[in-house]
Structure 1
């Protein structure tokens, strides 16, 4: 248990952020709103960028890149980058979503990412995402009330459910949302009406189901936080807070927040860490200040990225699944994530960088490494390191129930991560 004084303000704001961010598109808008209140301004990728000091950000789909150019920054000034991702495993609507069987109206969905399927059973689900209109514009949709449900089969009809539960993603994860035969008013018409747009103008959509249960403090002393999408909105929120804090000081590097989409499905997209988005932004920041290819190379050589993503706390009911010498706990501070096979990018030098940031922030830190007999997950860290050729460190907050429809973390770890990231970006 941490001895650091608990700051409820940051976690309260995290709860508001998660609630407002049922999809990556909402997550980047909610983060941008916080940046704007701190004086950051939006830029368009298609516009010329000024070299003037100050805070800027851009949004592309479900990704956000934000940065602060301090006074006196030169063309070869290196970057300190916090990387995170905005997407979470969930159920997403198919192109023709209206379906049904046996007198029930249902919604056809596709599983996105590594979903523990049973955690989506018997939950009240809303719908959110974005609608694309005939004029090319896009509007955010957020139906924040119980609308869908994936009902579990009663135990009377499956007596072996407690011995073996097998869920076919095509057959068993189709939500219901009403009774009766299909008619002309389908789910897209409904979402359009709820969003206040003409359904006839909707030509495309990116919609997904989300659990409408609100985040909550949990435990005798409310030292835990239960919420959906902590992986990885907790890190995006911490990164935004850290960038805002860094902009209030005089950083010697250019602090950057890179919140990518599609990490849960491999990062290979125009808004994922495997794409060129971050490199393009960093290059333009060099060149907009009159820099050369040589200046770019020098800046990159001294650039460091901290990849912030949720990690595994030791599970009390399955402690044998964890490495016996490394048992990260909630509220023990952010943890370094280590894997010698480069599933995480941390090495000894990176360990020193992050440990020093935690020391400056006055927060504890711990270490995660996988049990040798268990496969290890990965993050945007190794992708970013290989894509840009920059020093990268993987860190995160210890959690249980990762990728479940509802996850669990320490209530004070969120602001400790933000404090450590703030010390890193503000150096």
Structure 2
């Protein structure tokens, strides 16, 4: 297990809100011990004492449920050294500070800094067995994703697994990991998992919160790039993949990439009937009035950024021909739902349709519902003992790749979404509105 973590962007929101709490959870459960050290770096002019105080405050705000002795033990493992992630001399000094042995360089940085930072790391003579972790998005389009993979392969020796680890925390969610286990091992699902039994699959990432101060990022991304192109396609790949050729991590990753490679996104004029984009108008969420998206601080209305995206895909394999896959994401909606809904065909022409609801992030049960009957809980998912980022970090530190996004997966995700983005930018799909606190615009299917 790698016990040295070099954390770029250590004073940013990602580190404060998610990474440090995940490390505290690993410390509290004994996954990391006294030999584990973190060297935080950013451009902020502070020393180790100030960084530890910053981390302690972040943990108090975001991980207060973890006993204070474990939070304090983590903060004592932190050191800080200011530096520029794009300068070779600064990065080399940080690597020397980390000492001998392999390390994980975690790039909690804006994507524009990935290639300069990786280039600096490659010149810093990393010890054998070191790894570089990158946060999504992996590029801004297909061309930049391919270029990022090329740089990773050229400078680190491999674009996958051994050195590069692409992080999408959705793969660390306990229910997504359980879904993968069900796909691999459950005979009931295996018997019905095809177009003969399944009419449609909905992957939903519907949120009842507005921007929460994220306008600076969100207004340049939108719902499609923010969650559809990454989180939701990761879930889709698990749902749609063929049984892997073997039990290993690489075979499973190849099966997921093959599922995305077989997917067909609407293009050109088809996008008008197979995709939808919308943004919220003024409305109410609970007891609070919510202004229109365009009136949120930091939003540029001329960008026409969508806060709701819906895309219908087809998967061109013998298993799935005739089944539609719907990806739907939105913000400021009436109800929060993150789940996979499997719409079952009736067993006889006059029989009732059924559905499987597979919760991703609350509720997290798997339930079967037949028309006219009460839902039946098939699988109850116990509360997760670790947050998603803790599972991902543990996989990363232990040298695994089960929860990483492969180079092929990163590229295929952009291949699928680029035609949709192109159709939207060409005005083939109008931008409609829905009131905040509503169910969103009318659905394309169902």
Q: TM-score range by the shorter chain?
A: under 0.3
Higher strand share: 1
Greater relative contact order (Cα < 8 A, sep 6+)? 1
The two structures have a TM-score, normalised by structure 2, of 0.24
The two structures have a TM-score, normalised by structure 1, of 0.24
Higher helix share: 2
